[in-house]
Amino acid sequence: MGDLLFVTVVGYDRPGIVAGITSAVAEVNGNIESIRASTLSDLFFMSMVVDISKINCSKEELIRRLKDRALKIGVGIAIEDEESKSKTKKLIAFDMDGTILEAEAIDEIAKRAGVQREVAELTRRAMNGEIDFEYALRERVRLLKGLPVEVVEGVAEGLPISKGAEEVIKTLKSMGFTTVLITGGFDVVARKVAERLGFDYWFANKLGVEDGKLNGEVEVLVSGGESKLEILKKVAEAHGIDLEECVAVGDGANDLLVLEKVGLGIGFKPKPIVEERVRAVVSINDMRTILALIASGRLKEGREG
């Protein structure tokens, strides 16, 4: 145990994917024991088993090289060890803003309140791990005080869903996955997104409302990574699922703890701090890549190449 890595690569088909990834293995004296290439609609994905017993660098260095090569080529990649790969994944948790949603909902709401610049800067600093998430959240909500809640609901209706998200959630549910949306964003938005996509569970922070307007307060139920992890644990335990049997998808610093504790944590269009620390990254704006990374061996569509 410990001498094998399982590498899955997915992206839009183009020349150079196979050569680029396999050369990163060869450069450190890794041995590719098996390789399988398949297609899923217009996506290409490849699975490799790599023997790392004789590599001339550390396992962590090889993982870093593989991620860097994948990002340079423009494909998503997941790198798992034998223990992680052996666990059948049963639950998947998604972040909302910047992941399931292409936009940060609070930034879009801030535009309507005329405080876009101030809120966007707080959002940026929180997602990059520069300031405490809960502090940034409360400060941003304070700036929204007085905005009619119907305006927030209107913004929520029009927020762009990430490409492929509806298809991915539908497919995962048909495969038996429990689907969970956990966001440090707002209940007004999360409810609409979860209902639209069919999530089994959703968790978000509750905006304070008085006389039909935001009162500048927020009931914080989901703040940093610890609260997200606790929520995920409770849902998983309720279904008899171990953390090692869970997948998590997110992009920001407040997702990191969850991404590092589950069986497979995927950085989707990740911030630099996330890209550096997780073993699976996707920079392509297409959520179907997530499906291929976590369930390539269980998908009915596709053919071996």
Write out the catalytic residue numbers: 95, 97
- The answer to whether 303 touches 39, Cβ cutoff 8 Å, is yes
Q: Is the dihedral of CA 246, 293, 167, 87 positive or negative?
A: negative
Helix, strand, coil % (nearest 5) of the chain? 45, 25, 30
**Residue 53 is encoded by which pair of tokens?**
């017993």
How large is the C-alpha radius of gyration of the chain? 20
Distances (CA, A) of 101 to 110, 221, 234, 247, 289: 16, 20, 24, 18, 15
Q: Beta strand pairing status for 264-268 and 280-282?
A: parallel
Beta strand residue intervals within the chain, DSSP E = 4-12, 31-40, 43-51, 76-81, 91-94, 178-186, 201-210, 213-219, 246-250, 264-268, 280-282, 303-304
